[in-house]
Structure 1
Amino acid sequence: MSNTQAAVARPAVLGDLVPGRLVRDITLVAGAAVFVGVAAQISVPVPGTPVPVSGQTFAVLLSGAALGLNRSVLAMALYALTGVLGVPWFAQGASGWHFASFGYVLGFALAGAVVGALAARGGDRSPPATVATMALGTLLIYVVGVPWLMAMTHSDLGAALSMGVRPFLVGDVLKVLLAAGLLPFAWRLARR
Structure 2
Amino acid sequence: MPEIPDRPETTLFALHRLVWTALMAALIAVGSFLSLPLGPVPFTMQPFFVLLTGLVLGPRHAFAALCVFVGSGLVGLPVFAGGKSGLAVLFGPTGGYLAGYLLAAPLIGLAARGRPGWLRGIVAGLAGLAVIYALGVLNLMRVLGADIGKALLVGFVPFILQDLVKLVLAVAVWRFMHRRGLLPGQAV
Instruction: Report the TM range for the smaller structure's normalisation.
Output: 0.7 to 0.9
1:165–1:19: structure 2 CA closer, same or farther, 3 Å change rule? farther
Asked if 1:32 is matched to 2:29, the reply is no
| Offset from partner CA, 1:81-139 (integer Å, 9 cap, x none) | 110121111111111232211211111111101111122234xx122221111111111
Is the Cα contact below 8 Å between 1:87 and 1:95 reproduced in 2? yes
The CA distance in 2 between the partners of 1:166 and 1:19, in whole Å, is 46
Aligned to 2:132: 141
Aligned to 2:3: none
User: Which of 40, 45, 62 does residue 72 from structure 1 map onto?
Assistant: 62
CA RMSD of aligned residues (A): 2.1
Aligned to 2:96: 103
Asked if 1:156 is matched to 2:147, the reply is yes
Aligned to 2:112: 119
User: Which of 14, 22, 47 does residue 22 from structure 1 map onto?
Assistant: 14
Q: Which has the higher helix share?
A: 1
How far apart are 1:148 and its partner, in Å? 1.3
Is the Cα contact below 8 Å between 1:61 and 1:115 reproduced in 2? yes
What percent of counterpart residues are identical? Answer: 30
Is the Cα contact below 8 Å between 1:128 and 1:180 reproduced in 2? no
Is the Cα contact below 8 Å between 2:97 and 2:132 reproduced in 1? yes
Q: Does the residue aligned with 1:88 lie in a helix, a strand or coil? A: coil
How far apart are 1:19 and its partner, in Å? 7.3
- Aligned residue type for 2:18: I
Aligned to 2:179: 188
| Offset from partner CA, 1:45-68 (integer Å, 9 cap, x none) | 22xx30011000100110111111
Aligned to 1:45: 37
Is the Cα contact below 8 Å between 2:30 and 2:79 reproduced in 1? yes
Is the Cα contact below 8 Å between 1:77 and 1:109 reproduced in 2? yes
Equivalent residues in 2 for 1:51-90, closer than 5 Å: 51-90=41-80
Q: Which residues of structure 1 form unaligned runs of 5+?
A: 1-8, 11-15
Q: Does the residue aligned with 1:120 lie in a helix, a strand or coil? A: coil
Q: TM-score, normalized by length of structure 2?
A: 0.84
The CA distance in 1 between the partners of 2:18 and 2:168, in whole Å, is 29
User: Which of 155, 158, 161 does residue 170 from structure 1 map onto?
Assistant: 161
The CA distance in 2 between the partners of 1:131 and 1:61, in whole Å, is 10
Q: Does the residue aligned with 2:87 lie in a helix, a strand or coil? A: coil
Is the Cα contact below 8 Å between 2:55 and 2:121 reproduced in 1? no
Aligned residue pairs, count: 174
- Aligned residue type for 2:71: L
Aligned to 1:13: none
